[in-house]
Amino acid sequence: MMGGDPLLSGFEDPEEYGFETRAIRAGQPHDQRTGGVVTPIAMSTTFAQEAPGSPKHGYEYSRTGNPTRHAYEACVASLERAKYGFAFASGLAAEDALLRQLTPGSQILIGNDAYGGTFRLIDQIHGKKSGVGNAAVDLTDPGQIREVWNPDCRMVWLETPTNPMLSVFDIQAISEVVHELGGLVIVDNTFATPYLQQPLILGADAVVHSATKYIGGHSDVVGGFIATNHDTLAEDLVFLQNAVGAIPSPFDCYLALRGLKTLAVRMDRHCENAKSIVSVLREHVSVSEVLYPGLEEHPGHEIAARQMSDFGGMVSFRLTGGQAAAERVVTSTKVFTLAESLGAVESLIEHPGVMTHLSVAGSALEVPDDLVRISVGIESTDDLVEDLVQALDQAG
């Protein structure tokens, strides 16, 4: 989404409004023909032109731009406090568009904990196939960036909180260091969502999302998103959406836009349920460590309290009984479903070492084999707590 859309009238100056209002209204004018309050799913692949090259309403072809996508892009951009927003077919497609800023011979620094698929994309596609080097850095100490930075470095890529170790990095401190060195900071904001954390305000150059997770929020759409205030980066992303074509369908955009309307209330409940579960996990004999930024003993707690408005719905924990205990727990729950993915209304449980993070095995990003990750849903708190306790009782 770049520039003004002639059809996006009726909700001027959305910056004036609060988050919840913008989630429901930004980019979503009432249908000008019918007054419908819901953004239509614009299935048309092509749009009538007045003269060759002069489309009537700014739209030509749906890979280049689509009204439903445009509404969705304007909405997330508003929530991230960004000038520009770009929707992609998946989180990884969005990440790929950002990584295409790197030319062969350049280098990217990544946090030493990240989604396995992100590492695979950086290392195997942009690394082995396109000659972009990468190095993992412990970003809990932003000074380390200076130590490993070299003239080929262009970009620092981080998640916070990270997937699956729930480490927290100081976006503002990292941005200051990287900007001094002349690089770009990309923040994967999938875990926090713009409701809990707005990285662009803290100095990041671009935010990337797997919209498949909390933005969609109902496990029924795969999507990705980039938000930025950078004019030149935005120009290139417009070009890439069109030239590469990894765009979401109008129906996918509609689902994501529908999910966004309840993002705030869902996140409140995710956070609340996560806290109840964390306090139970901490008391259980089978659990050796609980990883949650909301805990005062979490090494990133202070930073999280400063840069996030709450601590999120993702919790990881380690078991005293090792990998076998982890396997027993993830196969013993009834309300928590054993499955990959996260961020939706239903609670999920998984074993990252052999599921979501299998692709980082043997790398600097490898995760412990006694680790269990849960995505706390918005079901009844008591049901979730009871289910997890009975599963932990079987951990041995």
Q: Which stretch binds ligand PLP (CB under 6 A): 12-20, 24-32, 85-93, 301-309?
A: 85-93
Task: Give the pair of three-digit tokens for residue 176.
Answer: 């200051």
Q: List the interface residues with ligand PLP, window 104-143 (CB under 6 A).
A: 115, 117-118
Member of 107, 210, 333, 375 binding ligand PLP (CB under 6 A): 210
Task: Determine contact, residues 209/215, Cβ cutoff 8 Å.
Answer: yes
Q: Does 90 participate in binding ligand PLP (rule CB under 6 A)?
A: yes
Q: Which is nearer to ligand PLP, 29 or 312 (CB)?
A: 312
Query: Minimum Å distance from CB 157 to ligand PLP?
Result: 10
Sheet holding 371-375, edge to edge: 287-291, 314-319, 371-375, 348-350, 337-338
Q: Does 213 participate in binding ligand PLP (rule CB under 6 A)?
A: yes
Task: Determine contact, residues 57/47, Cβ cutoff 8 Å.
Answer: yes
Query: Minimum Å distance from CB 240 to ligand PLP?
Result: 16
3-state secondary structure of 157: strand
d(CA 226, CA 290): 31
Member of 91, 111, 127, 199 binding ligand PLP (CB under 6 A): 91
3-state secondary structure of 111: strand
Q: DSSP per residue over 322-373, as a string?
A: HHHHHHHHHTT-SSSEE-S---SSS-EEE-GGGTTTGGGTTSTT---TTEEE
CA within 13 Å, CB half, 301: 9
Task: Give the pair of three-digit tokens for residue 233.
Answer: 């980066």
Q: Does 170 participate in binding ligand PLP (rule CB under 6 A)?
A: no
From the candidates 115, 214, 254, 292, give the one annotated as an active-site residue: 115
Query: Minimum Å distance from CB 235 to ligand PLP?
Result: 24
Query: Minimum Å distance from CB 90 to ligand PLP?
Result: 3
Task: Tell me whether residue 76 is exposed, middle or buried, using C-beta atoms within 10 angstroms of its C-beta: 0 to 12, 13 to 18, 19 or more.
Answer: buried
Q: Which stretch binds ligand PLP (CB under 6 A): 43-51, 87-95, 169-177, 385-393?
A: 87-95
Member of 80, 113, 170, 188 binding ligand PLP (CB under 6 A): 188
CB neighbours of residue 346 within 10 Å: 14
| Residues written for the chain | 396
- Quote the distance between the C-alpha of residue 164 and its chain's center: 13
Q: Which is nearer to ligand PLP, 142 or 312 (CB)?
A: 312
Task: Give the pair of three-digit tokens for residue 147.
Answer: 């130590």
Q: Which is nearer to ligand PLP, 82 or 314 (CB)?
A: 314
Q: Does 96 participate in binding ligand PLP (rule CB under 6 A)?
A: no
Q: Which is nearer to ligand PLP, 8 or 137 (CB)?
A: 137
Query: Minimum Å distance from CB 234 to ligand PLP?
Result: 21
Q: Which is nearer to ligand PLP, 84 or 225 (CB)?
A: 225
Query: For ligand PLP, which residue has the nearest CB?
Result: 91
Q: Does 190 participate in binding ligand PLP (rule CB under 6 A)?
A: yes
106 sits in which H/E element: none
Show the binding pattern over residues 223-252: x = contacts ligand PLP (CB under 6 A), - = does not: -x----------------------------
Q: Which is nearer to ligand PLP, 240 or 395 (CB)?
A: 240
Q: Which stretch binds ligand PLP (CB under 6 A): 72-80, 90-98, 256-264, 268-276?
A: 90-98
From the candidates 213, 266, 269, 318, give the one annotated as an active-site residue: 213
From the candidates 31, 63, 328, 383, give the one annotated as an active-site residue: 63
d(CA 307, CA 313): 16
The count of residues interacting with ligand PLP (CB under 6 A) is 15
3-state secondary structure of 29: coil
From the candidates 123, 170, 188, 205, give the one annotated as an active-site residue: 188
Active site annotation includes 188 = yes
Active site annotation includes 115 = yes
Q: What angle do CA 280, 267, 10 make, to 5 degrees?
A: 170
Q: DSSP per residue over 203-272, as a string?
A: T-SEEEEETTTTTT-SS----EEEEE--HHHHHHHHHHHHHH--PPPHHHHHHHHHHHTTHHHHHHHHHH
Task: Give the pair of three-digit tokens for residue 12.
Answer: 């001027």
Q: Does 307 participate in binding ligand PLP (rule CB under 6 A)?
A: no
Member of 28, 78, 163, 197 binding ligand PLP (CB under 6 A): 163
Where in the sequence numbering do the catalytic residues fall?
Answer: 63, 115, 188, 213
**Contact positions toward ligand PLP, by CB under 6 A?**
90-92, 115, 117-118, 159, 163, 188, 190, 210, 212-213, 222, 224
